[in-house]
Amino acid sequence: MKFRKIFTKTIIGVIIAIALIWTLFAIFYLLIISFAGEGALPTRLEIPKRLTLDNWQTLLWGETSIWPYMINSLIIATVTITLTLLISLPAAYHISRFSNKLNRSIFVLLLFFRMIPYISLVIPIFFLLKRYVLLGTRLGVSLSHLIYTVPISVWLMKGYFDMLTKEIEEAALVDGASRFQAFLRISLPLSGPGIAVTAMFAFVLSYTEYLFAVIITRQPTFPISVRLTAYLGVHETYWRHMACASIISTIPMIVVFIFLQKRFAESFTMGAVK
């Protein structure tokens, strides 16, 4: 029995190590390329013969700094998260608490929207934003991102609201609280882990989105996902600059995950302690 436990832990450890090495390999190779000097790109996992910080200086403090594009991406993602939560939280709560044919149909319809290829929605969204003078703006991109952040957020939050006991809300309703007060003061605080997970998914989807951004935005409002493609030239590809920009662009996602890590872990245990 003891040998079986040791063997199981060893196998799990090996699998985790392989997954970690596989995941970090790309980041490590990007670091090698980003510090490589002029000449042939390193094709092996070894320290380049000529190291330089010129690539980083160009992207961080040069004329082609990526900070404006990073700021655009963060603003777009923040607006997207805010609008997504404002729409999906009440919608998910209503679908969870009032189970009728209309709500069930809406819930299934949201899944149907997730199945539609987003490329087929670009043209109507383009003309809609153009009509309301939102084309080329950060707000226009954020509104377009709601097409795929809201459905998945409603699906996620409905599951969390379903796990909350209704007796607490019913007690508040008996004491004279309105349904909105019960939602605002009881359900939302208790569903904090679910909100954190939903916000993280919305952030990642919006921050890394490329299709809508490249069609809707213009030069002043390009996000970092569009800027990365600018290093792919017709006659030359700026691999070193792309490597630096790719590493820098991952920092906000890492910070968001670290900030929401505790809530993210709590979300896995909600069902176990119900």
- pLDDT for 177: 81
Supply the pTM of this predicted model: 0.85
Decide: 175 and 236 in contact? Cβ < 8 Å: no
* 182 has a pLDDT exceeding 80: yes
* 219 has a pLDDT exceeding 90: no
Decide: 186 and 169 in contact? Cβ < 8 Å: yes
Rounded to an integer, what distance in angstroms lies between the CA atom of residue 121 and that of residue 140?
Answer: 14
- Give the tokens for residue 260: 């929401």
Rounded to an integer, what distance in angstroms lies between the CA atom of residue 113 and that of residue 150?
Answer: 10
End-to-end CA distance of the chain: 32
φ/ψ (deg, to 5) at 98: -125, 90
Q: What is the chain's length?
A: 274
pLDDT in tens, 192-203: 888 988 999 899
Please give the angle made by the CA atoms of 14, 20 and 22, to the nearest 5 degrees.
Answer: 100
The alpha carbon dihedral of 88, 90, 95, 97 has a sign of positive
- pLDDT for 1: 60
Rounded to an integer, what distance in angstroms lies between the CA atom of residue 81 and that of residue 142?
Answer: 9
Q: Which domains does the chain have, with CATH numbers?
A: 2-52 (no CATH), 65-269 (1.10.3720.10)
Pick the closest to residue 87 from 18, 134, 142 (CA basis): 142
Residue 133: strand, helix, or coil: coil
* 116 has a pLDDT exceeding 70: yes
Rounded to an integer, what distance in angstroms lies between the CA atom of residue 21 and that of residue 45?
Answer: 13
Q: How many CA atoms lie within 13 A of 37 on its CB side?
A: 6
Residue with tokens 């899944």: 111
Decide: 270 and 157 in contact? Cβ < 8 Å: no
Pick the closest to residue 160 from 86, 273, 271 (CA basis): 271
Contacts 24+ apart (CB under 8 A), 177-183: 183/90, 183/93
Pick the closest to residue 247 from 42, 35, 21, 18 (CA basis): 35
Give the list of residues 6+ apart from residue 227 with CB closer than 8 angstroms, or none. Answer: 66, 69, 245
Pick the closest to residue 191 from 222, 167, 169, 160 (CA basis): 160
pLDDT in tens, 47-64: 777 788 888 888 888 877
- pLDDT for 273: 42
One-letter amino acid identity for 197?
A: V
- pLDDT for 153: 92
Most confident option among 36-50, 65-79, 223-237: 65-79
